[in-house]
Amino acid sequence: MKAFRGQPSIYSTGQTVEKSAELEVKNVTLNFGGVMALHNVDLTVHTGEFVSVIGPNGAGKTSLMNSITGYYHPQSGKVLFNGEEIMGHHPHEITKQGIGRTYQNIELFPGMTVLSNMLLARHLYCDYGFGKAALFSRSVRNQEVEHRQVLEELIDFLEMQPIRKKPVGSLPYGLRKRVELGRALALEPKLLVLDEPFAGMTLEEKEDMVRFLLELNSAWGQTMVLVEHDMSIVMSVSQRIMVLNFGEKIAEGTPEEIQNHPEVIKAYLGETTKF
């Protein structure tokens, strides 16, 4: 089975293949009128890392992800990806540079099948125009085969064979979340941003998603930034955690350091509550 571009199949080698995904967020400040969503926020993510961003509701987590992926344009600061400034770029430009994401609210086409939703992400790698597509030339057919091979590997990996031809709108919420992960992975991102991928899932669905993400990181070398409220998941999957509160970074460290950090306990969990 064909593997992702530049990396071997997880079924054939089990090797970790790292795609350069160096992210630097420097002193980013984002205001909405008189409301400050982010204030001088810094975040560094290195290739192959699994980093989580946590904080209370309204802390600025999604605002930070939107600033990284081009949906928001901060008033000051810098966002660098593999050494190149990307702040101010449009989302489709940032996607082409290798940053993919899932969304807090599912952004799928409910009337289309699982396979069709995932196939839409492959437009990034289509280098033919309308004329060749209309004639379905040999080069178009070859690219179509290549795209299908990538998607079939993803469908196998995410255990979605039974639902591959079902309309997304007919699926339970947890499976839609899995389809959205598949569509993001179909972009073959160097950096994958996950905005609350576990929201609305059952315990069993969460366990499956944790398994997929850990294997993506360890076996595929996928660099990931996770925004999540479920602390048991965050503590079990993260190599490093950054904490926001009222748009400001208050702590960063390993899961062990964060769960015992006094400011985190006070701001996120209350004075006396611990993880």
pLDDT of residue 148: 81
Token pair for 193: 């941003």
Q: Tell me the angle at which helices 203-219 and 173-186 cross, rounded to the nearest 10 degrees.
A: 10
pLDDT of residue 252: 96
Q: Which domains, and CATH codes, for the chain?
A: 20-98+191-275 (3.40.50.300), 108-188 (no CATH)
113 beta partners: 167
Torsion angle, alpha carbons of 22, 23, 27, 30, to 10: 170
pLDDT of residue 127: 61
pLDDT of residue 222: 96
| Cβ neighbours of 46 (radius 10 Å) | 15
pLDDT of residue 11: 35
Q: Do 1 and 9 form a contact (C-beta atoms < 8 A)?
A: yes
The tens place of each residue's pLDDT in the chain, 275 residues long, gives 344 444 444 433 344 445 899 999 999 999 998 899 999 999 999 999 999 999 988 899 999 999 999 999 999 999 999 999 999 999 999 999 999 999 888 889 999 999 999 988 887 766 655 555 555 556 666 667 777 888 999 999 999 999 999 999 999 999 999 999 999 999 999 999 999 999 889 999 999 999 999 999 999 899 999 999 999 999 999 999 999 999 999 999 999 999 889 998 887 666 544 44
Cα–Cα distance for residue pair 202/80, rounded to 1 Å: 36
